[in-house]
Chain A
Amino acid sequence: QSALTQPASVSGSPGQSITISCTGTSSDIGNFNSVSWYQQHPGKVPKLIIYEVTYRPSGVSSRFSGSKSGNTASLTISGLQAEDEADYYCSSYSTSGTPVIFGGGTMLTVL
């Protein structure tokens, strides 16, 4: 069982918006703005798409946005495109054991 909880899969049609949740505890997401999100296409290397809850690295599409409320962080992808089909992982700093923890990953299918 992963330290952060994500849905195993989500899906959406091209042009729609989807949101992926990432639930932690007060030891991680709830008390720290150290949430990040990674995109990983099959057989490819992970790519940082959101850091510090809401910030996008240079070159990442503005269609990706992040937010946080309480112990849950969220990644929203607007205007879904076929190329967005990938696995998405959340991550956070944690004061409980291992200092950086990941979610189990969410597979996004673009219908």
Chain B
Amino acid sequence: EVQLVESGGDLVQPGGSLRLSCAASGFNVNTNYMTWVRQAPGKGLQWVSVIFSGGSAYYADSVKGRFTISRDKAKNTLFLQMNSLRDEDTGIYYCARNLFGYDFYYMDVWGKGTTVIVSS
């Protein structure tokens, strides 16, 4: 069964760091484009970052320079390193698999999300 399970969400102070993980099963994260999307409490979806099968990555303007997406081939896991966290980074963070064979705009498998709260 294709599945994504996120972890690592926590309460962190502004300026702090957090590393999110997304364990995949049923497919290989290294041969798929993988994306992080977040959702602030009561708000809409916001695209965060994508990593391509070749390893290159794109970021939303709001997180560029602060967040880093990566993956571990052996663990079949996607990561999101988040530094210099701000209040507005609070929300549920979803990892998602991009629809295979298409560009990076479509996410067809989603994890249940992990919650990040940035507050003093």
A: residues with CB less than 8 A from B are 2, 34, 36, 38, 40, 45-48, 51-52, 57, 87, 89, 91-93, 97-105
A46 to B112, CA, bound (A): 9
Q: Are A46 and B102 in contact (CB under 8 A)?
A: no
Chain A residues near B103 (CB, 8 Å)?
34, 93
Q: Are A46 and B94 in contact (CB under 8 A)?
A: yes
Q: Are A48 and B61 in contact (CB under 8 A)?
A: no
B: residues with CB less than 8 A from A are 35, 37, 44-47, 50, 58, 60-62, 94, 99, 102-108, 110-113
Chain B residues near A89 (CB, 8 Å)?
44-45
Main secondary structure, interface of B, reads: loop
A63 to B58, CA, bound (A): 34
Q: Are B108 and A48 in contact (CB under 8 A)?
A: yes
A34 to B106, CA, bound (A): 8
Chain B residues near A105 (CB, 8 Å)?
44-45
Could you write out 17 A-B pairs with CB less than 8 Å apart? A2-B44, A46-B45, A46-B110, A48-B106, A48-B108, A51-B99, A51-B108, A52-B106, A91-B47, A98-B60, A98-B61, A98-B62, A99-B47, A100-B47, A100-B105, A102-B44, A105-B44
A32 to B103, CA, bound (A): 12
Option from A48, A57, A93, A103 in Cβ contact (under 8 Å) with B44: A103
- Give min CB distance, B96 to chain A, whole Å: 8
- Give min CB distance, A45 to chain B, whole Å: 5
What 9 pairs between A and B have smallest CB-CB spacing?
Answer: A100-B47, A51-B106, A105-B44, A98-B60, A34-B105, A45-B110, A102-B45, A93-B105, A97-B61
- Give min CB distance, A4 to chain B, whole Å: 10
Q: From B113, which residue of chain A is reached at the shortest CB distance? A: A45
